[in-house]
Amino acid sequence: MIEVRKLVKNYGDVKAVRDISFKVQNGEILGFLGPNGAGKTTTLKVITGYLSPTSGNVFVDDMNVIEDSMEIRKMIGYLPEMNPLYHDMEVYDFLEFVAHAREIDKSRFKSRLGEVIELCGLKGVVHKNINELSKGYCQRVGLAQAIIHDPKILILDEPTSGLDPNQIVEIRGLIKNLGKAKTVIISSHILQEIQATADRMIIINRGEIAANGTIDELMSDFKGKTRLKLELKNADTESLKKVQSFNDGVLLSEYSEKDGVMTAVLEYPNSLDPRQDIFTHAVKNKWVILEMSRHKTSLEDIFRNLTIEGETTNAK
Amino acid sequence: MRNNFKILYRKEVQSFFNSPVAYITLVVFLLINAWFFTSTFFLTNESDLRTLFTVAPIVFIFFIPAITMGLIAKEKNTGTLEFITTLPFSDGEIVIAKFLAALTLVATALLFTTVHFFTLLIVGNNIDMGALISGYLGLLLVGAAYTAIGTFASSVTDNQITAFIISFSIIFVLFILDKILVFVPGFLSSFLQYLSIDYHLSNISRGVIDSRNLVYLGSIILFFLLMSIRILEMRKWR
Ligand SMILES: Nc1ncnc2c1ncn2[C@@H]1O[C@H](COP(=O)(O)OP(=O)(O)OP(=O)(O)O)[C@@H](O)[C@H]1O
Ligand SMILES: [Mg+2]
């Protein structure tokens, strides 16, 4: 089991990860989802021992990364972001080096190499130089080095980035296959990727966990919720909150005001329908309703909602 | 037990010989030495390797930064540092294996210069074996000190050219120190002399190997290797 406990990581003044905690059970595939700059890579770098936590710790079984980094590294297969490889090496020499580093002896290397070539589809490129390989093949080599020692834990940082759609489907299949027997953490900023591979997902945004659960759990947490967009003239939020149904569980999730027009988004369970209340209230207060539109949430919206602030801060 | 040093060392040596930089610098090193050797040998008909022992340390000032500049800087630049440091190797093992691999290249270069020695044998002049051995020992030790400095320079940056300039500068200063002694007051001069690499090298080459010389070179090697390891570890706390 992997447990990240109260992890904080700063780069100088940049707070990349702010106090996150979560657990990954043995045999589980965890999807680590978040927009660019959310802190996914940073978290993974701490788990794999490349960086030390600013505070907090990561536990693997009864060991932790501060004291037992070496032992933990032995249990992990890691595909870093950008997939750094020694481009002046032959695929064979590279995998042999990793195998030695992973305590695989000569006799076992031969059979293990065969298995990995089969699994990752490396047939025909074994004796090529890595710098001659296409991006997709490089990614396969990266995956091959991560699994060559059949690690208990597999950590993959954006394993399909830069691949074409066919390769993506293939690599996802491979990951799902590998995940049957391993604990896997796979990071991505693409929801579909996580949906296609993971048992459970953690959505991380600006260094904090925004949601944690199985895809079904997240859906039902948010399902049954409706978003209602309003554009009102002459209205103010204080008065809006006096609408009767606000007592029953309608939430004002966003609002802004411009040129005397208030834009507000309400969120409420599907069982409610505050539209009539709003209308009567508007009439009573002499508001003008410019727009009132309703829409149900999908997982896509959940992700967008949870991470929207991250997107805007990164865009500037 | 698996031998981490051996695994890393093999990879480093392999990567040297996979890149043209090693061959080019090796050839240039040998050409320069051969040129100096032959031009003085036929002129003065001297029967020792004195020119080699004076020219080689100067050529080292360029040669060793060139072969060490990529050791760590290149791995930082391409991102492979993250790959190798998350394998179950300690930072110390990584640094020392790199140092030893570069030193192997230096030793190889020195080995090639023994053709001059065989030339002398064939010509048949009497050769001072003691001076020859201590001369080579001195070159190897100084080469090791420069290599440690080069390893350090390569650890502080991800740019190979910057690494070259840093190690070249450190080595150049250490080399030049005993040549500027006349410009400094007396109390400083013996101190600066002790810090000068060339001073210790000339002692060793003359065949008088004093523990002071060995301690000096050993400390340089140790200091710069420890610094390299520290700097590599510092990435974790950035
Ligand atoms: N070496 C570094 N020095 C300074 N700041 C950094 C460094 N690496 C990352 N950061 C910052 O830390 C934050 C988190 O970055 P991180 O790489 O962990 O995000 P991520 O979720 O992996 O994003 P992406 O989807 O783009 O890979 C970002 O604001 C980033 O700018
Ligand atoms: Mg990332």
Range of the domain at A288: 225-296
Shortest-distance Cα residue to atom 6 of ligand 1: A11
Q: Which of A36, A50, A81 to mutate to test the pocket of ligand 1 (most atoms within 8 A of CB)?
A: A36
At B54, the pLDDT band (50, 70, 90 cuts) reads: confident
The tens digit of pLDDT for each residue in A121-165 reads 899 999 999 999 998 899 999 999 999 999 999 999 999 887 888
Interface check B122 vs A, CB under 8 A: no
Question: B83 and A102 in contact by Cβ < 8 A?
Answer: no
Distance A66 CA to ligand 1 centre (A): 21
Total domain count, chain B: 1
A38 lines ligand 1 (CB under 6 A): yes
Q: Are residues A257 and A282 in the same domain?
A: yes
Question: A102 and B15 in contact by Cβ < 8 A?
Answer: no
Q: How far is CA B88 from the centre of its chain?
A: 29
The domain that holds A16 is classified in CATH as 3.40.50.300
Total domain count, chain A: 2
Higher-confidence residue: A284 or B163?
B163
State the average pLDDT over residues A284-289.
90
Q: Are residues A288 and A244 in the same domain?
A: yes
At A312 the pLDDT is 43
Q: Are residues A114 and A237 in the same domain?
A: no
At B196 the pLDDT is 86
At A149 the pLDDT is 96
Residue A55 lies in a domain: yes
Q: Are residues A213 and A240 in the same domain?
A: no
Q: Tell me which residue in B10, B80, B86 faces A73 most closely, judged by beta carbons.
A: B86
Q: Output the CA angle B184-B186-B192, nearest 5 degrees.
A: 65
At A69 the pLDDT is 95
The tens digit of pLDDT for each residue in B64-101 reads 999 999 999 999 999 999 999 999 999 999 999 999 99
Range of the domain at B90: 2-237
Q: Is 70 exceeded by the pLDDT of residue A224?
A: no
- State the Cα torsion A35-A37-A38-A39 to the nearest 10°: 140
Shortest-distance Cα residue to atom 18 of ligand 1: A39
Q: Are residues A48 and A130 in the same domain?
A: yes
Residue A46 lies in a domain: yes
Higher-confidence residue: B206 or A294?
A294
Q: Are residues A159 and A208 in the same domain?
A: yes
Q: Which residue, among B84, B87, B237, would best test binding to A if mutated, counting the most A CBs under 10 Å from its CB?
A: B87
Q: Are residues A211 and A277 in the same domain?
A: no
Q: Are residues A215 and A229 in the same domain?
A: no
At B220 the pLDDT is 95
Least confidently predicted of A55-59, A139-143, A167-171? A167-171
Cβ contacts of B82 on chain A, cutoff 8 Å = 45, 50, 80, 84
At A46, the pLDDT band (50, 70, 90 cuts) reads: very high
**Counting runs of H as helices and runs of E as strands, what totals does chain A give?**
11, 14
Cβ atoms within 10 Å of A115's Cβ, excluding its own = 13
At B230 the pLDDT is 97
Interface check B86 vs A, CB under 8 A: yes
Q: Is 90 exceeded by the pLDDT of residue B193?
A: no
Q: Is 60 exceeded by the pLDDT of residue B167?
A: yes
Q: Are residues A194 and A55 in the same domain?
A: yes
A188 lines ligand 1 (CB under 6 A): no
Which ipTM score applies to this complex? 0.90
At A209 the pLDDT is 94
Q: Is 90 exceeded by the pLDDT of residue A305?
A: no
Most confident among A199-213, A231-245, B87-101, B209-223 (mean pLDDT):
B87-101
At B172, the pLDDT band (50, 70, 90 cuts) reads: very high
Least confidently predicted of B42-46, B139-143, B152-156? B42-46
Residue type, B131: A
3-state SS string for chain B: CCCHHHHHHHHHHHHHHHCHHHHHHHHHHHHHHHHHHHHHHHHHCCCCCHHHHHHHHHHHHHHHHHHHCCCCHHHHHHCHHHHHHCCCCCHHHHHHHHHHHHHHHHHHHHHHCHHHHHHHHHHCCCCCHHHHHHHHHHHHHHHHHHHHHHHHHHHCCCCHHHHHHHHHHHHHHHHHHHHCHHHCCHHHHHHHHHHCHHHHHHHHHCCCCCHHHHHHHHHHHHHHHHHHHHHHHHHHHC
Q: Are residues A158 and A234 in the same domain?
A: no
Measure B16 CA to nearest chain A CA, in Å: 10
Choose one of A203, A220, A237: the last residue of a domain: A220
Cβ atoms within 10 Å of A167's Cβ, excluding its own = 18
**Ligand with minimal distance to A17 CA:** 1
**Ligand with minimal distance to A37 CA:** 1
Per the structure block, which two tokens stand in for B173? 């200063």
Interface check B80 vs A, CB under 8 A: yes
Q: Is 90 exceeded by the pLDDT of residue A274?
A: no
A42 lines ligand 1 (CB under 6 A): yes
State the average pLDDT over residues B99-124.
86
Cβ atoms within 10 Å of B47's Cβ, excluding its own = 14
At B43 the pLDDT is 62
Q: Which residues pair with A14 in a beta bridge?
A: A11
pTM, rounded to two decimals? 0.85
Q: Are residues A132 and A269 in the same domain?
A: no
Residue A301 lies in a domain: no
At B66 the pLDDT is 94
Cβ contacts of A52 on chain B, cutoff 8 Å = 236-237
Q: Which of A7, A9, A18, A42 to mutate to test the pocket of ligand 1 (most atoms within 8 A of CB)?
A: A42
A141 lines ligand 1 (CB under 6 A): no
State the average pLDDT over residues A166-195.
89
Residue A45 lies in a domain: yes
At A311 the pLDDT is 45
Question: A102 and B14 in contact by Cβ < 8 A?
Answer: no
The domain that holds A289 is classified in CATH as 3.30.70.260
Which chain B residue shows the shortest CA-CA distance from A149? B87
Q: How many CB pairs under 8 A join A and B?
A: 63
Q: Do B96 and B12 contact (CB within 8 A), yes or no?
A: no
The tens digit of pLDDT for each residue in A63-95 reads 999 999 999 999 999 999 999 999 999 999 999
At A9, the pLDDT band (50, 70, 90 cuts) reads: very high
State the average pLDDT over residues B3-8.
93
At B125, the pLDDT band (50, 70, 90 cuts) reads: low
At B1 the pLDDT is 42
Tell me which residues of chain B, numbers 40 to 59, contact chain A at a CB-CB cutoff of 8 Å.
Answer: none
Q: Is 60 exceeded by the pLDDT of residue A316?
A: no
At B154, the pLDDT band (50, 70, 90 cuts) reads: very high
At A299 the pLDDT is 72
At B48 the pLDDT is 59
Question: B2 and A103 in contact by Cβ < 8 A?
Answer: yes
